[in-house]
Amino acid sequence: MKIVKFGGKSLAFDGAFHQVVDIIKNKAAKEQLTVVVSAIGNTTDVLENILETAKNSAEYIPLFQKFKQEPQHQTTDLNEEFQLLQKILEGVNLLGDYSLKIKDNVLAQGEIISAKVLTHRLKEENINANFTDSRTIIVTDANFGNAQPIEALSKAKTQQHFSQFNNNVTHIVTGFIGATNNNETTTLGRNGSNYSASLLASYLNAEELQNYTHVDGIFTANPEWVKNAKKIDALHFNEANELANFGASILHAKTIIPLLEQNIPLRILNTFKPNDAGTLISAVPTQEGIKSLSVLSEVALINFEGRGLLGKVGVDARVFNALSEKNISVSVISQGSSERGLGFIVDKNKATQAVIALEQEFENDFYTKDVNRISVNDDIAVISIIGQDLSSFHKPYNALIQNNIVPILFNNTVTGKNVSIVVKKSETKRALNVIHGQIFGVNKKVNIAIVGFGTVGSVLINQIVNSKKQIAKRKNIDLNIFAIANSTSVYFNADGFGEEWKVVATQQNPNGLTSIINFAKDNHLENLILIDNTAATSLPNRYIEFIENGFDVVSSNKIANTLSFDFYKNIRQTLAKNQKEYLYETNVGAGLPLIDTIKLLHLSGENITKIKGVFSGTLSYLFNHFSVEDRPFSEVLKETISKGFTEPDPREDLSGQDVGRKLLILARELELENEFDEIKIQNLIPEAFQSLSVPEFLNQLEGLDAYYQEIKQNLKPNEVLRYIGELSGDLQQNKGVLETKLIAVSANSSLGQLSGSDSIFEIYTESYGNNPIVIQGAGAGAQVTARGVFGDILRLAEKK
């Protein structure tokens, strides 16, 4: 015989009820079958709500009428059940109260109705079905609401009942309920229908218990919360028992024990996929390692603090005895040592009762001030990692910290193979995804918000979209662009933008930058990176806000690193406090590895004495061509503009301000405390042109020709013009000398041999003397800059 159990979602009339009938019909034709059922759909919740309403007002009547008129209740005669319910509800309404005994009787009707409806439907299909009220076979104590079966009596009654029938009878048995020796209806507690099925399997020595649910089996995490959760093919009884104890929703904590004692396998199946193998739970050993993550959410943390109890014997016993007397169980315990403190988890609905019990037990200790506080935190959840030992626990723990999730406490079981972590309830889903991605080897999801999709930003988005599949395959990293923003709109897609982003971004969607933070929180997104491709000051001024909300930052925007030195320090302190990173390799040299090289030299103790170079790819192109070609300055400048090397207002490049910012960034990498206004910057625009509007300036470019032709004519033979930035002085002091200027250099020098829009940087150090480290390459262009930003993103992603 096989025991087959169907849950409420499977039996819902608007769900898979017809599928349940087909499954039973197919199985009954081949083997002996006993079916255990829960109440249909959400019947239990509906009945509980009607009962509670009846206690307070007559408004329960229309609720009860609606319940009776449900489609599933029209298929067979349920007058007996409805008359009993009406009688009970009238009495409750009259008294204004009800007992647990009454509640059990009301809730039991849900299972009875379910079994009768299914039995009637099966008979219509010519299946020899027999309705069995489990109150006639399962004998329990009188602990209403959470009754315990009396095994010997229940087993005897069950075996005697089933012995009366032929093997071709399919029994439809009510789950969840039993009765006392006095025939008083009881219920077996939360998810008790699974327990009922397990007991029947044990009493009847079944071949297998098959539990049909709305999911494919047991997963490495709740698949509704973790999209890449994997189905587990097989579990040992002990592993399943741990999952049940720590909150797995499709396993009852007491389900496993009767099966384990009789070595009866349990198979978790999906009603909607009857041909799938599901998850098999048996006595067969499985490979060691982490099996699954489970969550307890309806719990509370009790904090017990008593400085005066340190070193006193028997305090723990008093705590747990007081709780035991009130039938309050504890699931996770953490003990402090610097002062006498205990933290432990109880069911949320028993938290107040637990505090009262402890306050009574330690009343005298409060008076002597040996106990100073007993508090409750019910805004928490417990995540348990089944199969986790402490030797590798640092990996998920560090991942949580990197995502700004700080566990309130954690606990390791006696076996050393399960770790439970208490977190804020609002962080549960994100924490679950972070841990799951860290320990199960699935692709790590990195969620990216890109602000600014102009020239560089749009190229970057396309690079990410086009490389996404390859990176997922090679690096096991899923790059998920969940937000795209500009100065007026923010666009969201929790599942990530693809090639359609261009169409989406043409529509107006007014929103502020705060909406990015809120969206990430609301959707429990982990591994967050903010990308700043703007040139404005508004976003850099809000970096700290993003960092404090769990974002790392990657920026091609130079502003943040060139604001006041106090702001510069504040960002670094905030990064350190929140264990976040801020990468900006493209701030100087576009995609060249300049900043990393300088950081490494400085970190290693190398004394950098001077940095000099052509910092601007725009100005490099301009003077590389103007110096050697017989063309007016304005003509070369127009060509530079047409190639997209300049800002919309070319004076932003020609002012030298951009080179000055880049120079200051390098100075601050050497821990120099210079401010931007201390840089000596040569503006390449004559004063008369500085106040013109952009159109006026662009129409008068020829007015620059005479000025620059004179400079060019003053060059000596074999000399060329270069606009350079130079950091010099005693760089071991707090400040250096920063200067940007147009100079003449030998065409044979490293600066003079520069071509195209390349940048070049000469780094002079004590060790290298007069032979500088030279870094040269493309210093301008959207593709190069975007690729550099992309590189920073990947560096961060691999660390997460």
Catalytic residue numbers?
A: 662
First to last CA, the chain: 51
Indicate the DSSP class of residue 560: G
Q: Which helix (H) or strand (E) holds 681?
A: strand 680-681
- Please classify residue 198 by burial: count the beta carbons closer than 10 Å to its beta carbon, then call 0-12 exposed, 13-18 middle and 19+ buried: buried
> Chain-centre distance of CA 14, in angstroms?
32
Give the number of other Cβ atoms within 10 Å of residue 214's Cβ: 15
- Please classify residue 705 by burial: count the beta carbons closer than 10 Å to its beta carbon, then call 0-12 exposed, 13-18 middle and 19+ buried: middle
- Please classify residue 503 by burial: count the beta carbons closer than 10 Å to its beta carbon, then call 0-12 exposed, 13-18 middle and 19+ buried: exposed
Q: Residue 187 to residues 9, 44, 372: CA-CA distances in angstroms? A: 19, 12, 40
Instruction: Supply 648's token pair.
Output: 């919309």
Asked whether the beta carbons of 162 and 134 are under 8 A apart, the reply is: no
Beta strands in 476-541 (DSSP E): 477-485, 490-492, 528-532
d(CA 336, CA 334): 7
- Please classify residue 428 by burial: count the beta carbons closer than 10 Å to its beta carbon, then call 0-12 exposed, 13-18 middle and 19+ buried: buried
d(CA 484, CA 469): 20
- 766-790 burial, b at 16+ Cβ within 10 Å, e below that, comes to eeeeeebbebbbbbbbbebbbbbbb
d(CA 262, CA 241): 15
Give the number of other Cβ atoms within 10 Å of residue 765's Cβ: 17
Asked whether the beta carbons of 532 and 539 are under 8 A apart, the reply is: yes
**Angle at the Cα of 543 from the Cα atoms of 541 and 547, rounded to 5 degrees:** 150
Amino acid symbol at 293: L
> Chain-centre distance of CA 36, in angstroms?
37
Q: Residue 451 to residues 139, 479, 534, 587: CA-CA distances in angstroms? A: 66, 16, 7, 16
Length of the chain: 800
d(CA 609, CA 579): 32
Tell the residue number behind the tokens 């404090």, with chain if given. Answer: 548
Helix residue ranges per DSSP H, 71-170 = 79-95, 100-124, 151-162
d(CA 772, CA 761): 9
Q: Residue 383 to residues 228, 289, 387, 444: CA-CA distances in angstroms? A: 17, 17, 13, 19
d(CA 378, CA 350): 11
Q: At what angle do helices 617-628 and 705-713 cross, to 10 degrees?
A: 70
